[in-house]
């Protein structure tokens, strides 16, 4: 592993940095300022959830158009376009004078943070690595866990002493002074991919986006792929509500996030090795089982330690899915049009993260508490396991037939 990292440091480190700084557009980071925004603009829990949903849906609608550019525009130029806009979004989040400006800020945070920063990192890694794609992705996606483990604590400390606005200004400075120069250096030189084991590491022919959208198996895959972002975002968004509802200490959720981040790192690395050995398609039937168990725990247990059990199980599922989702699409549909294909997938995932807070927030306002909703999420995951098993069998049969 160390030899692999030394040989590919600039691309691995660049991808890690992009996923790390995508945190500024992720729900777990944005949610830290929800209480302040609700106070400033006099919004209820459900009202802000619906605003968040609308802004996120708008970003999801834009992603297929912006995201496909990575197939034709050099990666370093995409970074030079994306990072400054994300920095502007953080400043708007800090000093939004009106509700409309806040909605614009959230839209830009979601589009350029959660959407494009992750999209650039995973698309570049999927295109530039082949035989060791799983290992490369397992290292790149650790930026997400690094951000989850560190940035909420740093932001919380800054907010405690200086206020949430200075926290968002610090995010802008970090993007412009640290993230942008390093990412431009890292991705300024593309990597030439090596050959791969033909039996599982890539499709024989690269599919265009229109061909993928006409493939029924693609839509079956989405039923499983969208579950982790929907469920994870929902829980992260409602962290304050959940700790109040269960009468848990406020710091418990931040501690749980740290546990989840550690577990996610371990299982992302494990799954990277499994993908290089068996292929992403073979792992499809299993990645939702821990997520189903996590939702059952959240729905049935009220003890404070149950949050840590939930976070451990969520971390296992996140670790598997974070690496799996980077390797699955080039393996199933090829890498030539990966940017255009992934832009649709990322858009759908952002849509799922938008639907989560909006839908569940409205249900909470109607009297359906989050633990009861978690039980429904668990049942959905179990149904999706069957769908992923079907899709895995169909894709493996398709790839075998495509081999000469």
Q: Which domain holds residue 298?
A: 7-402
Is 1 part of a structural domain of the chain? no
Is 287 part of a structural domain of the chain? yes
Q: What does the mean pLDDT of the chain come to?
A: 88
Is 120 part of a structural domain of the chain? yes
Return all residues near 91 (Cβ < 8 A) that are at least 6 apart. 168, 169, 172
pLDDT average, residue stretch 73-93: 95
What is the tens place of the pLDDT at every residue in 133-174?
888 888 998 898 788 878 888 998 999 899 999 999 999 999
pLDDT average, residue stretch 315-324: 89
Is 395 part of a structural domain of the chain? yes
pLDDT band at 203 (very low <50, low <70, confident <90, very high): low
Query: At residue 54, does pLDDT exceed 50?
Result: yes
pLDDT average, residue stretch 313-338: 87
Percent of the chain whose pLDDT exceeds 70 = 96
pLDDT band at 197 (very low <50, low <70, confident <90, very high): very low
**What pLDDT sits at residue 173?**
97
Return all residues near 152 (Cβ < 8 A) that are at least 6 apart. 28, 29, 32, 254, 257
Spell 200-217 as b/e; 16+ CB within 10 A means b: bbbbeebbebeebeebeb
**What pLDDT sits at residue 260?**
86
Please give the Cα distance from 321 to 325 (Å, whole number): 6
**What pLDDT sits at residue 404?**
57
Query: At residue 83, does pLDDT exceed 80?
Result: yes
Query: At residue 32, does pLDDT exceed 90?
Result: no
Single pTM value for the model: 0.80
Domain count across the chain: 1
Residue 396's CATH number: 1.20.1250.20
Is 2 part of a structural domain of the chain? no
91 phi/psi in degrees, rounded to 5: -70, -40
What is the tens place of the pLDDT at every residue in 328-386?
888 888 878 888 888 888 888 878 877 787 788 888 888 888 889 999 999 999 999 99
Query: At residue 2, does pLDDT exceed 80?
Result: no
Please give the Cα distance from 340 to 208 (Å, whole number): 8
Is 366 part of a structural domain of the chain? yes
Is 193 part of a structural domain of the chain? yes
């Amino acid at each position: 592993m160390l030899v692999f990292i030394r040989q590919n440091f600039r691309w691995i480190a660049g991808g890690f940095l992009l996923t790390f700084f995508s945190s500024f557009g992720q729900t777990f980071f944005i949610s830290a300022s929800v209480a302040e925004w609700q106070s400033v603009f006099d919004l209820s829990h459900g009202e802000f959830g619906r605003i968040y949903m609308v802004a996120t849906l708008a970003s999801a609608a834009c992603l297929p158009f912006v995201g496909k550019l990575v197939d034709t525009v050099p990666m370093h130029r995409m970074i030079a376009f994306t990072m400054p806009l994300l920095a502007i979004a953080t400043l708007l989040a800090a000093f939004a004078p009106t509700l409309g400006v806040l909605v614009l800020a959230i839209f830009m945070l979601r589009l350029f943070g959660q959407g494009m920063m992750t999209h650039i990192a995973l698309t570049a890694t999927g295109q530039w690595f082949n035989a060791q794609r799983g290992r490369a992705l397992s290292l790149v996606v650790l930026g997400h866990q690094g951000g989850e483990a560190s940035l909420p604590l740093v932001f919380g400390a800054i907010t405690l002493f200086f206020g949430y606005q200075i926290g968002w200004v610090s995010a802008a400075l970090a993007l412009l002074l640290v993230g942008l120069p390093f990412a431009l250096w890292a991705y300024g030189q593309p990597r030439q991919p090596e050959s791969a084991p033909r039996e599982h590491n890539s499709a024989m022919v690269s599919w265009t986006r229109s061909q993928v959208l006409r493939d029924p198996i693609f839509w079956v895959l989405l039923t499983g792929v969208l579950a982790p972002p929907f469920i994870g975002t929902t829980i992260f968004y409602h962290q304050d509500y959940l700790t109040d509802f269960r009468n848990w200490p406020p710091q418990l959720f931040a501690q749980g996030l740290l546990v989840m981040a550690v577990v996610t790192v371990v299982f992302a690395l494990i799954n990277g090795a499994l993908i290089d050995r068996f292929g992403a398609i073979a792992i499809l039937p299993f990645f939702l089982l821990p997520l189903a168990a996590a939702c059952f725990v959240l729905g049935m247990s009220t003890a404070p330690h149950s949050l840590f059990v939930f976070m451990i199980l969520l971390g296992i599922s996140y670790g598997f899915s974070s690496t799996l989702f980077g390797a699955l699409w080039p393996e199933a549909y090829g890498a030539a049009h990966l940017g255009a294909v992934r832009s649709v997938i990322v858009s759908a995932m952002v849509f799922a993260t938008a639907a989560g807070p909006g839908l569940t927030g409205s249900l909470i306002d109607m009297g359906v508490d989050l633990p009861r909703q978690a039980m429904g999420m668990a049942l959905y995951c179990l149904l999706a396991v069957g769908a992923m098993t079907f899709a895995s069998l169909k894709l493996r049969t398709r790839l075998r037939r495509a081999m000469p």
